[in-house]
A = this chain, B = another copy of it.
Amino acid sequence: MATLLTEPTPRHEPDRFGRPDAGWRLRLYIIIFEADTRAGRAFDLTLLAFILISVTVVMLDSVEAISTRWGDLLTVLEWFFTVIFSIEYILRLLCVRKPKRYARSLFGVIDLLAILPTYLALFIPGLHSLIDVRVLRMLRIFRILKLGEYVREFSELGNAILATRRKIAVFLSFVLIVVVVMGTLMYVVEGPENGFTSVPVSVYWAISTLTTVGFGDITPKTDLGRLIASMMMLMGWGTLAVPTGIVSAEFAVRRINPEITTRTCHECLSEGHPSLAKFCADCGAKLPPYQLDAGEN
């Protein structure tokens, strides 16, 4: 609870983009970037609603039966939301002291991507549906609820995946080597006449098989090809167990030893001592008594 007192602005992002000191820019900044005032909260909720409706509009517009009948209304709505989001984007740029930093931040780029397609679609009609990437703005929902009940879960998920990122990188490299080898093999065995038209296509098939997706748009027809595919599937099964195992283990360890990275030796400041340890495993100093502080609720 002490951190709450020393960190005065925990509900919004840390002051990365330069909080203005006073005036209309400060008032705007508080509404747009902070979420712990009434106005800020109302702004965020309105924004989320607008994003949701706007994404729905673009999705419906792509359904032919609907677009032929309600096309005009949907186009008006889409432009309405695009203009709203454009104004919001400009206001964001105006009210921060480091607008470049905001423009290059993750959410700055997403905010831009959310309005660009409508304008680009005037010139290149095909890009029209890309407006849907504005669903990415929904990621804000996690930021808004930052101190709410979801943040602990979210950061826990993030930490567990972060902690296993190197294991998963090693694993993915291995999988990529395997799918290239198997794809090439199947291309040679089955050949273009059975749907394996090129090595990249065969690699695509190998990935879809190894991940157990198995579309079935390309399938082995020869006996040898089916034998290789059978072995691949059994292999893929075992392989599937590896990342699952890595992440599961990470979660289990975090649930069992929540303090796995929190218990610190007062002498050498090394971290991560098990809850039952009495002495520091790095310098031999006596550890402070273990206190269980993070119960489930």
Chain A positions near chain B (C-beta within 8 angstroms): 55, 58-59, 62-64, 126-127, 129-130, 132-133, 135-136, 138-139, 141-142, 149-150, 153-154, 156-157, 160-161, 163, 166-173, 175, 177, 180-181, 183-185, 187-188, 191-192, 197-201, 203-204, 207-209, 211-217, 219, 223, 226-227, 229-230, 233-234, 236-238, 240-257, 260-261, 271, 273-274, 276-286, 292, 295-296
Q: In the complex the two chains form, is A181's CB within 8 Å of B261's CB?
A: no
Q: Given the complex of chains A and B, what is the CA–CA distance between A157 and B175 in angstroms? A: 13
Q: In the complex the two chains form, is A245's CB within 8 Å of B251's CB?
A: yes
* A contact face: mostly helix, strand, loop, or mixed: helix
Known: A180-B55, A211-B233, A216-B215. A282 touches B292 (CB 8 A): no
Q: For residue A243, which residues in chain B have a CB less than 8 angstroms away from its CB?
A: 237-238, 241
Q: Given the complex of chains A and B, what is the CA–CA distance between A209 and B255 in angstroms? A: 30
Q: Can you name 16 A-B pairs with beta carbons within 8 Å?
A: A59-B200, A136-B177, A175-B234, A207-B230, A212-B212, A238-B243, A241-B243, A244-B245, A245-B247, A245-B250, A245-B251, A248-B248, A261-B296, A271-B292, A276-B276, A278-B282
Known: A64-B197, A166-B153, A199-B59. A282 touches B277 (CB 8 A): yes
CB distance from A225 to the nearest CB of B (A): 10
CB distance from A44 to the nearest CB of B (A): 16
